[in-house]
Chain A
Amino acid sequence: MKVRVRFSKLGIMKFIGHLDVMHFFQQLLRRSDIPIAYSSGLSPHQIMSFALPLGIGLESIGEYMDIELTERVSSEEAIRRMNLNSVNGIEILSFKELPEKAQNAMASVSAADYEICPGKTGFTADALKEGLSGLFSEKEIVVLKRTKKNEQEIDIKPFIYEHSVKEDGTVFLRLSCGSVNNIKPELVMGALCKYMGAAASDTGFAIKRLDLYREDILKPGEVSGRFISLDSTGEPIK
């Protein structure tokens, strides 16, 4: 059976890179006696995939991993055992059986929510509000996007689905993500800093991912434009 696991990555754990997170979960599943399925072949590995790697330095309360089990284990029991064997900062939040035909998290993820605190940058709530509304009144928001191979200028405005600033200065962003048009929050904040005339390299923001979403598909080829949390697919195991 296929299972989706939601977990958080907080505090000092934000400095653990994606490969180390995978390494951690492979060991955590074994420590917790979760009946994980293995691939066949000469060197069997656990059947496991992660929705979207989180950059080093970012916190999250909405990380997802899909795994396959060989036997049934109740959600409550699995969460209990995994949290018992986990470390401070990584907590299992949900453990749900996926419908057989469900697309895996990695393939379906298409949007992510972020909460960004001004942290050490010293920006006030008013300055950020003014900056953001100014930035979005521009026709386009062009940034330099670096990939492993090259760098190119792109307009990210269409991929910023929502933005707002709370009273305390916390910025909220809903961004396009996944295999196409993957927009990192640092990119948006960099553009904002640049617009406001601050150093674009300013990395003092404290960024937290809140959740990941897939698009609500009405029928093949037709999307509703709404986003559904990856956590809403699947049912707790009794």
Chain B
Amino acid sequence: MRKQALDDEILLNIDKPVRYIGNEVNSIVKDGAGIAVRFAMCFPDLYEIGMSHLGMQILYSMFNEWEDVWCERVFSPWLDLAKLMRERNIPLFALESQDPVKEFDFLGFTLQYEMCYTNVLQVLELSGLNFYSKDRENDDPIIICGGPCTYNPEPYADFFDIVYIGEGEVSYRALFDLYKECRNGDSFDKRDFLRRASHIEGLYVPSLYETEYVSEDGVLSSFTPLYPDVPGKVSRVLLSNLTGACYPEKPIVPFMKITQDRVVLEIMRGCIRGCRFCQAGMIYRPLRERDLEELKRLAVQMLKNTGQDEISLSSLSSSDYSRLPELVDFLIEYARDNKLNISLPSLRVDAFSLDVMKKVQDVKKSSVTFAPEAGTQRLRDIINKGLTQEDILDGCSKAFLGGWNRIKLYFMLGLPGETTEDIKGIARLSERIASLYYELIPKEERRGRVQIVTSTSFFVPKPFTPFQWARQGSKEEFLEKAHIVNDEMKAQLNHKSIRYTWHDASVSVLEGALARGDRRLSKVIVRAYENGACFDAWTETFKEESWLKAFSETGISMEYYTARERKPDELLPWDFIDTGVSREFLRKEWENALMGKVTPNCREQCSGCGARRFNGGVCYEG
């Protein structure tokens, strides 16, 4: 009989017990023999969110291919179960073995968004582990993390033993080998292990650095290693060539319908576009494509091994994949023969993509999406969004003539250099598109009203982007901007064809504080958690008061992190990380932004960002 961490009575009394039982197709159960490293990999959110994440499946598959490693999964228990676990003293467990997390050698988190930080604390608490690395025992699991949030690990640095900066494929083998070596014999010395781990490329051990500030509430004045052998800079690691890299040919198939209930084919990493607000576009450079033939083989294998009926392409900008037409043709044919569906997110709208979309989806039910991000060309030049009004209107015309009458538009409010004209421009562009439909499509051919769905999010400046120095708007400013858009919408002729929604402003501001925070924020995160914050990424559970109270109780100003433009020479908390893209390049891009000067994409012309040193990808094309 298989071990069950939760008894029947509990499983019958919680929402969606299927989240907690494991046993899915392609999940991996190993017997204890020969396992030297037990790794609990945690996505600190609900099962259905975490299981939709490709990165976790890649590492799960790679780790489990190693005979001496057994990697299992852990997710955040929803509030109903978390409460029962506390009441009954049930420790958090991994899905495969159902063993307590505390018994593992490693507990690894993937940090995909700032609003999951309190969930990390929930996982630690339910596992019976102290929040701060300095308070944990020598034999507690090594707590490590990876993911985009590691490009500023400082707000949570005090909780982690190791922060992995870069692509997981590269340095884990070296880390596990070191761990085995240090575990060999009776005495394991965690401090010695961590010290040696800091020599492995891409690994940052926060406890080995000391920070000083000009004053208690002032800027960072120094960030220094405690020992001469600990590197002062931590370099991001990455695969310079994706061909032949490990890929989950047998991804786990959840029983429940999850957010991304489909096979995911990662066609490339990185992006050539260089939008100045986009962190992913900077920290994943250079663009590296996977081999076409390999992708075809992987697609077929994964569909066969999972039995799933849908495949989706994944990348930051699929239209930039150089072999896209061949890949899409292949998939369309395979899907037709096998009664499968294809989903193609992040395609630039043009004749080719509309043609493809027509083949793979029902025009009547689907919509065409644009992300102009800003309402005027002037502001789009500031953010280096290489999408002109002409491109948008041309794409919309083609879509309307092709039979679509639903257009989705995504914008940001609060971008650097934004004026009232730019804000109103969002409404005017929406109106321009709506009226285009009525100009273009004769009355008798219209299927009802055109539907323009416009939504705005609030700009959050992120580390390692040209806007990392920028001031972020306040909640009040954000809401005022949203109201300007809303009022301007109402003044438009076709306002009945346009629906406008905007994001929660308080979450965006908090995200901004955490994104560019420093080590002083760890106590705010702990305090917010103690005040009841958890599942902050969920609208129904986000409690702003828990956070505001936490800032005031710890005497830390949120505005210090958000509403302040950084000086050019300020030492930023994340400056010790070397992503490959130089600070000089980012600074030059910030200055170009202020001048409204556009920078060409990587395929048009190299701008010398620094990523060329990784010896691969688009930097060496052609």
Q: Could you list which residues of chain A lie within 8 angstroms of chain B, going by C-beta atoms?
A: 11-13, 15-17, 19-20, 23-24, 26-32, 38, 42-44, 56-57, 85-89, 120, 203-204, 206
Contact = CB atoms under 8 A, between A and B. Distances in A.
Contacts of B256: 20, 23
11 contacts: A15-B21, A16-B255, A20-B256, A23-B255, A27-B307, A30-B303, A30-B309, A31-B304, A38-B339, A85-B25, A85-B307
A27 B306 contact: yes
Given A13-B23, A27-B307, A30-B338, 6 more contacts: A12-B2, A15-B21, A24-B255, A30-B308, A38-B339, A206-B8
Contacts of A30: 303-304, 307-309, 338
Contacts of A88: 2, 23
A85 to B, nearest CB: 7
Contacts of A29: 307
A26 B18 contact: no
Q: Which residue, of A13, A23, A42, has the highest number of chain B Cβ atoms within 10 A? A: A23
Interface in B316-340: 338-339
Given A12-B23, A20-B18, A31-B307, A44 B4 contact: no
Nearest to A21: B255
Interface residues of B, number: 28
B203 interface: no
Contacts of A57: 8, 11-12
A13 B362 CA distance: 36
Contacts of A28: 307
Interface string B15-47: 001100111110000000000000000000000
A30 B309 CA distance: 9
A35 to B, nearest CB: 12
A149 B303 CA distance: 41
A13 to B, nearest CB: 7
A17 B255 CA distance: 9
Which 9 residue pairs are nearest across A and B when measured between Cβ atoms? Answer: A27-B307, A31-B307, A30-B307, A15-B17, A20-B255, A12-B21, A57-B12, A16-B255, A44-B339
Given A44-B339, A87-B23, A88-B23, A16 B18 contact: yes
A108 B308 CA distance: 31
A32 B253 CA distance: 14
B95 to A, nearest CB: 11
A27 B308 contact: yes
Nearest to A23: B257
B1 A11 contact: yes
A86 B253 CA distance: 11
Contacts of B2: 11-12, 88
Contacts of B21: 12, 15
B476 interface: no
B9 interface: yes
Contact of B9 (A20, A89, A203): A203
A26 B23 contact: no
Nearest to B4: A12
A42 B362 contact: yes
B3 to A, nearest CB: 10
Contacts of B346: none
Interface in B287-306: 303-306
A31 B306 contact: yes
Contacts of A17: 18
A56 B12 contact: yes
Nearest to B19: A15
Contact of B309 (A24, A26, A42, A89): A26
Interface string B536-578: 0000000000000000000000000000000000000000000
A16 B11 CA distance: 11
Contacts of B18: 15-17, 20
Contacts of A87: 23-25
Nearest to B98: A12
A56 B308 contact: no
A212 B85 CA distance: 38
B620 to A, nearest CB: 40
Contacts of B253: 27
A15 B9 contact: no
A155 B124 CA distance: 52
Nearest to B14: A15
Nearest to A119: B8
A95 to B, nearest CB: 17
Nearest to A38: B339
Contacts of A11: 1-2
A86 B24 CA distance: 9
Contacts of A13: 23
